[in-house]
Structure 1
Amino acid sequence: MVPRQRAGSGQAIRPNRDLVIDLARFFCLALVVVSHTMMVSPVLHADGTVTSDNTLGNQRWFEPVVWVLQVMPLFFVAGGMTGLQSWRRLRARGGNTFDFMQARMLRLIRPAAVLLAIMFAALWAARLAGVDPQVIQLLVSGAGMPLWFLAAYLAAQLNLPFLARLHARAPWLTLVTLTSLVVAVDCLRGMMPTLAYLNMVFVWCAVQQLGFFLADGAPLALGRLALAGIILASNLVLGLLVWLGLYSGNMLVNLNPPNLTLLLLGCSQAATLQLFRPALTRVASLAGVRRFIGLAGRRSMTVYLWHLPLLAAMTGLLVLTDFPQPAGGTAVWWWGRPLVLVALIGLLLPVVALFGRLEERPTSPGTARSRPAAAVVTAAVVVYVPVADAALNGLTLALLGGGAACFALAILLLGRIPVRLVADTGPEGGGPPLPRPPLSANVEP
């Protein structure tokens, strides 16, 4: 629910949305879905084994392209902007850290829990029907790829209230400290590879902090020349680190676990967003564009979570048939990608219609009490047990079922959000007024 303020006439008035953030999020999501259709390529070998090939990622020309189109940092910049604003609005209504954590987890894990449960049931049925275990594991692995994003985004968002307090006191010191932690982990990951996964927290929290600066409006005061300088400097430093051999130039390799290169990309993308904000605002303000991206934004998590499982299922089923399978990277394979994208969209539409409402926050009467802090913290731990296991050891069919059970338990622990924390709190509502602009009212996952 988007908070409203009430005018003296009693008519509900929505605070201004940041349409540029809506547009940026839609662009990022669309780019991820399209690029994944050009990556998933199952290979059936002569001995009957099945493997998955990342066709697009294996193209030499794609390495400099993905440098520009690796938009995952922009997701977290946008999440930092709207997350900080959501936190401030919640505080204005009398909410606390655990109320914020509860709302964030419910928005993310409710659609994920249903996905995991359906996948577990469907793949077990396929296994009992005699489908080759290799094909099933291929589907499990492909479908599990979105879970790393869920883990990283949850880690950043659950730490947001704490980081927001630090930002209010010492914004630059907070960002420098997080950056130093990122560099420290990168320096030690060679001796202790598992330590690299700490940057799932440090890198994305640092990128999220960039969104805090944008939310405060500080970069808006910078001129176009200064913003262009930030973009150039970030990419020059990134290029130097790659040239010295300290990091890979392939941003897909740098993604999981993340490293300093993603933070540098985040700086460049945050500045790019501000540099082109006037033009993006004009595009996003068009009536048709505004309605479309608003609708897509309310169901973005459902699209993100389901698109890879559906793509993996579609390609896996084709492997089991006699349908011609062109080799990945051939001209026939590339010409077939638009058809794959159309088929994927056709599968996504009914899924969004069926499960999209799970992204809406369940509310209880305004007189209900907030959930105990212990219940919220326990829910966070319960969610991270299977997610951390999948990140470190890979997703398996058994872990898929365990993850669904853990997510369901977390949802029970979180319960419902008291309506006073999400409903109107304007002068006539008896609650404190919402913060004034430039805060936006984007619906934040």
Structure 2
Amino acid sequence: MLTTSARPTAGKPAERLPTPHELAALTGDRDRVVDLIRICSLLVVVVGHSIMLTVDTSDGAIRLGNTLGEVPILQPATWLLQVLPLFFFAGAAASTHGWMSRASDDPPAAGHWLFTRTQRLLRPLGWYLGVVLVVLAGLTTAGLDAAADVVARLGVQLLWFLGAYLLVLAVVPLLQRIRTPLHVFLALGTCWGSTALIDAIRLHAGPSWLGYLNFLTVWTIPAVLGVAYAKQILRPGTAAAVSIGALILDTGLVHRGPYEISLVTVPGQQLSNMSPPSLLLAGHAIVLCAGAVAVRRVLATIAGRPRVWWWVVLGNRGAMTLYLWHLPVLAAVIVLGAVTGLDRADVQSASFPIVVGVQTMLLLALMVPVVVMLSPLENRPLPWWDGPVARRAGRARDLTLLAALVCLGIAVLMVSRYGLLGDGIGWLISGIGCAVTGRVLALRPAARGGGDAVPGDDASLQVSASRRSTTLDESHRRR
């Protein structure tokens, strides 16, 4: 883990953050493409959410809408805006780098390894949920039921991503068996074929709940390609052919199959491609992630520029902060616009694209200080939760830990579905119970004098201005 920081010492002023060239030297041969893909995909998500959201506050109610639902001609743009598969791709690639750096001599237990990833993921989520619950309680107490309902639902809607991400990370140790192009194609075929079978059953009078298995089959596809990328299994030409082939197949699914063209959920859809994920989204994940493998050298050239890399490092330090907090900041921007007479209610008005464009730029500008202020919470270890994790344990204990974390991922998915209302509260309590159970199971046994411990997230970059130190973990030097 990289940490560059500066704390004022006696008689000395605080040191500055490293310059782009200094930071480039400090990060050694870290795989910069992974970090570039991660932060760029999140920025596209932020912009996409801002562009798509409409808000009507007439008659004292709050009605949320979607630009894509009211202007269907824009729906093909979601094939460019739906880039979350790239985040899963980058996460699996970074996890594979970390796994390989440890597994050469003594591979860690899968469940305990997964918990080290969960530690960092849940740290910013804990702070965020705490604020949402306080705001929700305040609005409810004040009798602002309409606003409370929006917070209870929209405030946790995006958490599905973290739930799905945990499920995908749970299979990353299994995916380390991928070593050849044939293994890659077999894994992709299994995931794509399973998704096709599930869709065929659920769309022909089968149980609707079956579709939620696609959260694992679809989102494992970018993980497979992320592992293949990290191990450099696929050649760029092969990856390009796979990407183009999947794009042609997706086009056929839209024209001949039951799938709608929008890759995000919009009002009025007969079949959502997102919730649950569909076969069309599975193909889209192949298009994006195989395409990323194909243009690896181009992306490496871009990320190799010191100034670009400087921003990539700072952005990745607060990646989860950016994802979790951009909707509350967007809500504040929209409220400010409504107060000043600039609303998002009528997508047909001439001013709508101007208002949305200006507010999107304002959102991006405001997220810079927000990330700067809140990202320390994402990177600051919490007592007990971020304590050392045993590197290995008995098989039964490790499998129990793995099961607890999988249940945690499912609980997060359910909270995002139901909101902080009714069943959602029960799922939230269950998720907290799973997290606590996982922490207890992952504790390093004190009776053995400690033993080896697995550090926290090995894939994160940290740049801070709170300590006078510069350290570079060896796992990064090997990338």
**TM bucket normalised to smaller:** 0.7 to 0.9
Provide the C-alpha distance between the structure 1 equivalents of 2:296 and 2:38, rounded to a whole number of angstroms. Answer: 14
Q: 2:131 aligns with which of 104, 118, 125?
A: 118
Code of the aligned partner of 2:316: G
Would the alpha carbon gap of residues 394 and 365 (structure 1) be closer, same or farther in structure 2, given more than 3 Å must change?
A: closer
Cα-Cα RMSD: 3.4
Aligned-residue offset at 1:407: 5.3
SS in 1 for 2:258: coil
Matched, 1:240 2:252: yes
Which one of 287, 296, 300 corresponds to residue 277 of structure 1?
Answer: 296
Q: Is the 8 A contact 1:203 1:262 kept in 2?
A: yes
- Structure-1 separation of matches of 2:454 and 2:27: 16
User: 3-state SS of the aligned residue for 1:217?
Assistant: coil
Query: Which of the residues 60, 74, 93 maps onto 2:86?
Result: 74
In the TM superposition, what are the counterparts of 1:182-221 in structure 2 within 5 Å?
Answer: 182-190=195-203, 191-220=206-235
Distance 1:251 1:26 in 2: 20
Shift of 1:208: 1.1
Q: Which residue of 2 aligns with 1:286?
A: 305
Indicate whether 1:422 and 2:455 are aligned: yes
Query: In the aligned structure 1, how far is the partner of 2:244 from the partner of 2:391?
Result: 50
Pick aligned residue for 2:282 from 263, 272, 288: 263
- Which residue of the partner structure matches residue 430 of structure 1? none
CA contact (8 A) 1:76 1:208 kept: yes
Aligned to 2:76: 64
The alpha carbon displacement at 1:33 in A equals: 0.6
2:343 alignment partner in structure 1: 325
State the shift of 1:110 in Å.
1.5
CA shift digits 1:193-212 (9 cap, x unpaired): 11111100111112211112
Is contact 2:136-2:148 (8 Å) kept? Answer: yes
Deviation at 1:377, TM superposition (A): 3.9
Q: Which residue of 2 aligns with 1:138?
A: 150
Shift of 1:144: 1.9
Q: TM-score by structure 1 length?
A: 0.81
1:179 aligned to 2:192?
Answer: yes
Count of residues paired in the alignment: 415
Specify every segment of 5 or more residues in structure 2 that has no aligned partner in the other structure, as ranges: 4-24, 265-271, 445-451, 459-472
The verdict on how the C-alpha distance between 1:163 and 1:217 changes in structure 2, with shifts beyond 3 A counting, is closer
Q: Which amino acid aligns with 2:323?
A: Y
Unaligned runs of 5+ in 1: 4-11, 426-432, 441-445
Query: Equivalents in 1 of 2:201, 2:380: separation in Å?
Result: 41
> Residue 184 of structure 2 contacts residue 225 of structure 2 at CA under 8 Å; is this kept in 1?
no
1:27 maps to 2:40 = yes
Q: Distance in 1 between matches of 2:425 and 2:121?
A: 18
Cα deviation digits, residues 127-154 of structure 1 (max 9, x gap)? 21121x2222123322222111111111
Corresponding residue of 1:307: 326
Contact kept? 1:182, 1:260, Cα under 8 Å: yes
Q: Give the partner amino acid of 1:303.
A: L
Separation in structure 1 between the aligned mates of residue 100 and residue 378 of structure 2, nearest angstrom: 21
Instruction: Tell me how far apart the structure 1 counterparts of residues 278 and 41 of structure 2 sit (CA, whole Å).
Output: 20
Q: What are the within-5 Å matches in structure 2 for residues 367-382 of structure 1?
A: 373=398, 376-377=401-402, 379-380=404-405
CA displacement at 1:40 relative to structure 2: 2.0
Q: 1:318 to 1:64 in 2, by over 3 A?
A: closer
- Percent identity between matched residues is 27
SS at match of 1:254: coil
Q: CA deviation at 1:344?
A: 3.0
Q: Deviations along 1:187-232, whole A, 9 cap, x unmatched? A: 1122211111110011111221111222221223x43xx5443333
- The equivalent of 1:297 in structure 2 is 316
Distance 1:383 1:270, change over 3 A: closer
Letter in 2 for 1:285: G
Q: Specify the code of the residue in structure 2 equivalent to 1:270.
A: C
Moved more, 350-359 or 371-380: 371-380
- CA pair 326-344 structure 1, distance change in 2 beyond 3 A: closer
